[in-house]
Amino acid sequence: MYLYSAMADLAGEYDDASLMAACKTLWSDLTTKRLYVTGGLGPSARNEGFTADYDLPNETAYAETCAAVGLIFWAHRMLLVERDGRYADIMELALHNGAASGLSLDGEHFFYDNPLASRGEHRRWTWHRCPCCPPNIGRLIASLGQYVYSTGPDEVAVHLYIASHARASVGGVNVALVQKTQYPWHGVVELRVEPDEAVEFALRLRLPAWCRTSRVEINGSPVDIEAVMDRGYAHVRRRWAKGDVVSLSMAMPAERVYAHPDVSADIGRVALKRGPIVYCLEGADNDVPLHRVALPRTAPVEAHFESNLLGGVGMLTVEGEVVRRRENGGLYGVDPPTTQPTTLRAIPYSFWSNRDADEMSVWIREG
């Protein structure tokens, strides 16, 4: 990932089409055959890298925190060169999931590897004998601002939705941007544009690939999104004045995600996602063994926010089924298993293992 980041930098700096073509080929290979649903990457601890196409085991996933951080670096550089929202989509996915899982909520414990399933033995370290991940995830969080916005000669792009204040120079005029939002728990964003004096430039607002329905308004007047879309961004050019307010509303329903059929580890399984957040089941929230549960395909998934859990977190709940124990307790039998209903509660993957070490699973058997 770090090598590819440098390749993208050089391709952009020297306008090297062959080097950029190599970057795009590598990007396609990663994102279509080798990337975990969480934005983690690298299934093998043996070589700290890749194996075969679609080899994405869950419990033994290596998915090193440093690799997800490196992917964010690479995606960011590809985004700045290509100005294409598909790179920002992966940057956001890795940031909220595959990288964020490497850091505990107290900021003092770290994952070196980030599996997508655990029987309860996986927990964060206070340090690691190979101490690359703690400072790597630390510097990512400390430098987060540079990934939220970028500027060009006559434009400002908003890549990530995070409550923030920023200042930029556009056309020789200082412009302040104030972003208010509860994203990723809610899909509503308010952006105040405060130039020192009226100035014309293009504001590029990313509309994530996960978003099926969105609405943009400027000072209460709707914008025809389809007419201004450009490579994943709503491209709004106008003369901006102090106090202009851009409102973005993105529908954010909970969705089921299915893996490519050649990902053998996930055949017959489903993952839950809402907006950019990938969810998991953790034993602390479910009083049944996770390997026994199933999620009916038609069961509605409800989203809600719990302010008193894990510092405030978006939760998903859905009515599932759990396989019951055999009455005779035998290892094998001729009678088919029976099930009973159970309420499944899912938390964001990046929040797992912040309580006692417990079992966890991102992929759920579909009933």
CB 205 within 8 A of CB 223: no
Task: Quick: pLDDT tens for 344-357.
Answer: 999 999 999 999 88
- Quick: pLDDT tens for 110-151: 998 999 999 998 988 887 778 888 888 888 999 999 999 999
How confident is the model over 76-85, as a mean pLDDT? 97
Residue 159 has pLDDT above 90, yes or no: yes
Residue 28 clears pLDDT 90, i.e. is over it: yes
**pLDDT higher than 80, residue 329:** no
Who contacts 344 (Cβ-Cβ below 8 Å, separation ≥6)? 281, 286, 293, 295, 317, 318, 319, 320, 364
Three-class DSSP labels, the chain: CHHHHHHHHHHHHHCCHHHHHHHHHHHHHHHHHCECCCCCECCECCCCECCCCCCCCCCCCCCCHHHHHHHHHHHHHHHHHHCCHHHHHHHHHHHHHHHHHHECCCCCCECCCCCCEECCCCCCECCCCCCCHHHHHHHHHHCCHHHHEEEECCEEEECCCCCEEEEEEECCEEEEEEEEECCCCCCEEEEEEEECCCEEEEEEEECCCCCCCEEEEECCEECCHHHHEECCEEEEEEEECCCEEEEEEECCCEEEECCCCCCHHHCCEEEEEECCEEEEEEHHHCCCCHHHEEECCCCCEEEEEECCCCCCEEEEEEEEEEECCCCCCCCCCCCCCCEEEEEEEEEEHHHCCCCCCCCEECCEEEC
pLDDT at position 262 is 98
Distances in whole angstroms, Cα of residue 66 to Cα of each of 39, 114, 205, 277, 363: 12, 10, 29, 19, 23
pLDDT at res. 127: 79
Catalytic residues: 48, 132
CB 321 within 8 A of CB 365: no
For residue range 166-224, what is the model confidence (pLDDT) as tens digits? 999 998 999 999 999 999 999 999 999 999 999 999 999 999 999 999 999 999 999 99
Confidence of residue 331 (pLDDT cuts 50, 70, 90): confident
**Domain 148-250: assigned CATH number:** 2.60.40.1180
Mean pLDDT of the chain: 95
What would the two tokens of residue 61 be? Answer: 């996933």
The pLDDT confidence band at residue 101, using thresholds 50, 70 and 90, is very high
Work out whether strand 199-206 and strand 233-240 pair parallel, antiparallel, or are unpaired: antiparallel
Q: Where are the domains of the chain?
A: 2-145, 148-250, 254-366
pLDDT at residue 22 tops 90: yes
In angstroms, the CA 144 to CA 149 distance is 10
CA 339 to chain centre: 33
Instruction: Supply the pTM of this predicted model.
Output: 0.95
* pLDDT at 306 (0 to 100): 96
Query: Phi and psi for 14 in degrees, rounded to 5?
Result: -110, 10
Using CA atoms, how far apart are residues 109 and 240, in angstroms rounded to an integer?
44
Q: With beta carbons less than 8 A apart as the criterion, state whether 319 and 344 touch.
A: yes
pLDDT value for 342: 97
- Give mean pLDDT, residues 295-321: 97
Cα–Cα distance measured from residue 190 to residue 182, given in angstroms and rounded to the nearest whole number:
10
Please determine, for residue 328, whether its predicted confidence score (pLDDT) is greater than 80. Answer: no
